[in-house]
Amino acid sequence: MGSFNNPCEIRRTRRLLGAGGFNAELLAHVIGRRGRVVTVDLDPYVVHRTQQLTAEAGSGRVTAILGDGALGAPDHVPADGFDGIVVTYNVWDVSPAWREQLAEDGYLVLPLEMHGYTRAIALRKRGSVLEAGPGDWAFCGFIRDRGSAARTTPTVDLPGGLQLRFEDGLPADAAGLDQSVRGPRYELGTGVCVAGGESFETLQLLLATTLDGFCRLAVDGEHDGGLAAVPRGADAAALVSEESLAYLTHVLVEDGDTPAERRSEFIVHAFGPAGEGLAQQMAARVRDWDSTVRAAGYPHLTVHPADTADQELPEGHVLDKADSRLVFRWPALDSSAPVTTTAGDLTRAADCR
């Protein structure tokens, strides 16, 4: 997202959602003497503090207003829109106001939640569509939206302090899972390993945006959950379908003196009548990540208005929100191809050791 911070690209006005005197004044410095910053926050104290601090800084190029960030700053939009909009809190959806108030070719930078995984994305406006390439993503985390667009995450409680979190809506077949996790567990090795400290942030997002029935399995701090390799207070990528559950963990298979020398293999665990099939789907997708995504990075993303018809969307995996439709095109991954398995899926591969 480096090009977005180039002062040569910020010609007029930039808007900051989530006011902060220091941050707003830094943005005013970035855009230069010809630009200005309009910053919005719903907390009167924060707005007042921002007004005081920016007045002391003396640039005169920051306007702090009280309002709901999801609505933007309709009374302060330049004739041809804001050159850039920066959101400094986690958002679940892309507000239509941000697209409407952004200038053509302008950038919207926001921490967007996708099935609970947050990534900072620099989206460029192309007509009614916002677009980001593989280099426009960054791992991040901020406080969640507290304005009109704030939402509560749907959850399903399971025995032993377990909880399934459906950040983008409950599936139709979440019933019966409490009985499934009391039954026998199926385990499937993937043969894919990561070194200690190695990031697999793109794997998380790949699973979340390409597998139906995705959710996150959490274990509270008071229980061990009784499930393999899910630590207390943590969560794991999971799938549910037909009263069955599968979830992904990683276990140490090779120790070493340094993190780079250690290897952990991704293992899928599953419960219920359809558990084996779910485990095979998830394991196959982990291998897809290893072979086609791991070295290539993040996907190409387009964000479309919510009323965009299916036939008007480009090829890719679609994630529907309330006000937008997100289309992910993963590098070298054919979204129309079914998830397949091979005979080797049923045994743990040892080549990553």
Q: Which helix (H) or strand (E) holds 90?
A: none
| Alpha-carbon span 266 to 283, nearest angstrom | 8
State the CB neighbour count (10 A cutoff) for residue 151: 13
How much is the pLDDT for 30? 86
Residue 339 is predicted with a pLDDT of 40
pTM: predicted TM-score of the whole model, two decimal places: 0.86
Model pLDDT, residue 232:
53
- Identify the DSSP state of 77: -
Note whether 231 and 265 are within 8 A (CB).
Answer: no
Q: Give the per-residue pLDDT at 228.
A: 54
Strand partners, 326: 303, 319
Residue 346, pLDDT score: 35
Give the per-residue pLDDT at 268. Answer: 96
Distances (CA, A) of 157 to 65, 160, 161, 240: 41, 9, 7, 13
Which tokens sit at 54?
Answer: 């920016």
> pLDDT under 50 in the chain at which residues?
1-11, 223, 225, 335-350, 353
pLDDT score recorded for residue 231: 53
Rounded to whole angstroms, the Cα distance separating 115 from 168 reads 6
Query: What is the reported pLDDT for 27?
Result: 86
pLDDT at res. 5? 33
pLDDT of residue 169: 80
Which one, of 2, 10, 5, lies nearest residue 36 by Cα?
10
- Of 297, 262, 325, which is closest to residue 99 (Cα–Cα)? 325
Q: What is the mean pLDDT of the chain?
A: 85
CA distance 89 to 14: 17
Task: For residue 145, count other CB atoms closer than 10 A to its CB.
Answer: 24
Q: What is the per-residue pLDDT for 226?
A: 55
pLDDT of the residue at 298:
96
